[in-house]
Amino acid sequence: MPRSPRRPALIHPPPEDFTVLAVLHALSDPTRMTVVQTLRASPERACGTFPVEVAPSTLTHHFRVLREAGLIRQREDGNRRWTTLRGEDLEARFPGLLDVIVTAYEGGARPVALSGGVRRWDR
């Protein structure tokens, strides 16, 4: 059976479907925080240009988590996928949330694993 030349459709939830738990979960990973920080500094980037050291398949997973939480939007352009931060949508839904989390992260707060897979932020 021949492989379809098209990739699966990308899911971008409307802002009213964003949940604070999905946003917090998406931002709980250092790789995903790097993606968000990069997009705050550079409005749109091709997927392979982010300063992260993970396998392409792992980065695809991180993009999916961010996209399904409503943090990013991706678009296809030929064989490239471009990524933008949905800052205005997130700000409208949860005013100030992204700024607070990014500021805490940049100030040295890092997720620390506790027993049972629970994480907390620590400096």
pLDDT at 16: 96
Structural element, H or E, at residue 57: helix 56-69
Residues 73, 76, 80: CA angle, nearest 5 degrees: 110
pLDDT beneath 50, residues of the chain: 1-4
Rounded distance between C-alpha atoms, residue 111 and residue 120, angstroms: 5
- What pLDDT shows up at residue 115? 60
- The confidence score (pLDDT) of residue 1 equals 46
- Annotated domain spans of the chain: 15-122
- Other CB atoms within 10 Å distance of the CB of residue 11: 9
> Which CATH number fits the domain 15-122, given the four candidates 3.40.190.10, 3.90.960.10, 1.10.10.10, 3.40.50.720?
1.10.10.10
Tell the residue number behind the tokens 């993009």, with chain if given. 63
Cβ count within 10 A of residue 42? 13
